[in-house]
């Protein structure tokens, strides 16, 4: 098998890289942005793997445990309610805004996100153009019939009874609308993400360590289908070697400069 790394020029890092990214975006007819927790740290939401990230503080509760154990469900909801202020107060930052700008100019067709924070939608990207691979923590769903429930109503019932409610329609287990470890990936979103990835000529990764599969398979798929790959991440990722451009810097400032370069070039 031919190594992808050998086929493409390695990105080299210099002060001009945001401008290079801007030019790369300027030459794209149809780009896809792929985001991870790193794009939202500038909005005050910690990521998983940076020092001080969520995983250094508590073990995740996996899907089987959630379904099997009432205590795991209570613990999961206690954690969710403790985070409610942070989720609610978080606002889109310069990185989200730069992405929304590229979507509104028709350059970016879709934003594929591993995030569950709803910040791409809040920055003005239409729900149809955001593909949430790991769901959304801003509301809850019944695991059996998918009925939507709001976090506030679940909290009120939890505080009254000490238990989260069952689904009012079918009695099923209610869970935040996120994908936990061990839970099946959402089929429709995976298909949409695959279609968007195959159709793009530029795939831009923003703030993902690219270790959580199957989500982390999309940048490689994009490369295989002939797209260019750009990665912006504070730390090295496992896929830097496959990329045409790698920028190890903060997303907000980098994307802000890239979009300004693009606006200038297209003037
Ligand atoms: P991750 O925590 O594994 O990696 C985030 C990466 O972003 C790190 O490599 C870090 O160096 C980089 N980073 C952090 N802040 C940055 C910044 N300002 N500029 C540039 N780079 C920055 O995140 P992941 O790959 O998305 O995977 C973690 C999983 O956790 C995801 O599947 C996601 O569902 C979930 N998660 C979501 C949120 C959210 O919705 N905001 C937050 C935490 C975790
Ligand atoms: Zn139900």
Whether ligand 1 lies within 6 angstroms of the CB of 212 is answered as yes
Kindly report, as residue ranges, where domains of CATH 3.30.1600.10 are found in the chain.
57-89+135-178
- Of the bound ligands, which one is closest to the alpha carbon of residue 205? 1
Is pLDDT at 8 greater than 90 in this prediction? no
The encoded tokens of residue 165 equal 């409610």
Q: What is the DSSP letter of 133?
A: T
- List the strands of the sheet with 148-150, edge to edge: 148-150, 135-142, 174-178
141 C-alpha to center of ligand 2: Å?
8
pLDDT of residue 7: 32
Q: Per residue in 75-102, pLDDT tens?
A: 999 999 999 999 999 999 999 999 999 9
Is the peptide bond between 30 and the residue preceding it cis, with omega within 30 degrees of 0? no
Q: Choose which CATH entry (3.40.50.2300, 3.30.465.10, 3.40.50.720, 3.30.1600.10) describes domain 57-89+135-178.
A: 3.30.1600.10
Confidence of residue 5 (pLDDT cuts 50, 70, 90): very low
pLDDT of residue 56: 55
Confidence of residue 58 (pLDDT cuts 50, 70, 90): confident
**Which residues make beta-bridge pairs with 205?**
34, 231
Among this protein's residues, is 110 annotated catalytic? no
**How many whole angstroms separate alpha carbon 151 and alpha carbon 27?**
43
pLDDT of residue 16: 67
Whether ligand 1 lies within 6 angstroms of the CB of 93 is answered as no
Q: What is the mean pLDDT of residues 131-150?
A: 97
Domain 1-45+91-134+186-267 class, CATH top level: alpha beta
- List the strands of the sheet with 228-232, edge to edge: 130-132, 108-113, 31-35, 202-206, 228-232, 245-247
Q: Are 26 and 265 in contact (CB under 8 A)?
A: yes
pLDDT of residue 4: 36
- Of the bound ligands, which one is closest to the alpha carbon of residue 171? 2
pLDDT of residue 52: 61
Of 12, 110, 134, 267, the active-site residue reads 134
- Supply φ then ψ for residue 173, to 5 degrees: -80, 135
Please give the number of the atom of ligand 1 that sits closest to the Cα of 45: 41
Is pLDDT at 14 greater than 70 in this prediction? no
Is pLDDT at 15 greater than 70 in this prediction? no
Kindly report, as residue ranges, where domains of CATH 3.40.50.1220 are found in the chain.
1-45+91-134+186-267
Q: Note if the pTM is more than 0.85.
A: yes
């Amino acid at each position: 098998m031919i190594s992808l790394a050998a086929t493409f020029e390695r990105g080299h890092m210099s002060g001009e890289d945001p401008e290079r990214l801007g030019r790369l975006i300027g030459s794209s007819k149809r780009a896809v942005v792929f985001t991870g927790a790193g794009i939202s740290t500038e909005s005050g939401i910690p990521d998983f793997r940076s020092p001080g990230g969520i995983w250094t503080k508590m073990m995740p509760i996996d899907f089987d445990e959630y379904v099997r154990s009432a205590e795991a469900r209570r613990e999961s909801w206690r954690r969710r309610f403790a985070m409610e202020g942070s989720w609610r107060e978080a606002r889109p930052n310069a990185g989200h805004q730069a992405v929304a700008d590229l979507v509104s100019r028709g350059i970016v067709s879709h934003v594929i996100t591993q995030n569950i924070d709803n910040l791409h939608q809040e920055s003005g990207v239409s729900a149809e153009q955001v593909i949430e691979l790991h769901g959304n923590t801003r509301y809850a769903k019944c695991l059996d019939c998918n009925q939507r429930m709001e976090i506030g109503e679940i909290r009120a019932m939890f505080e009254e009874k000490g238990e989260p409610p069952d689904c009012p329609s079918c009695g099923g287990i209610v869970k935040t609308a996120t994908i936990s470890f061990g839970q099946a990936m959402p089929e429709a979103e995976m298909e949409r993400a695959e279609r968007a990835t195959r159709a793009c000529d530029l795939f831009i990764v923003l703030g993902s360590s690219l270790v959580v599969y199957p989500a982390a398979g999309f940048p490689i798929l994009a490369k295989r289908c002939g797209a260019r790959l750009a990665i912006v991440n504070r730390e090295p990722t496992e896929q830097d070697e496959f990329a045409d451009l790698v920028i190890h810097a903060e997303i907000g400032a980098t994307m802000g400069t890239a979009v300004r370069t693009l606006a200038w070039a297209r003037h």
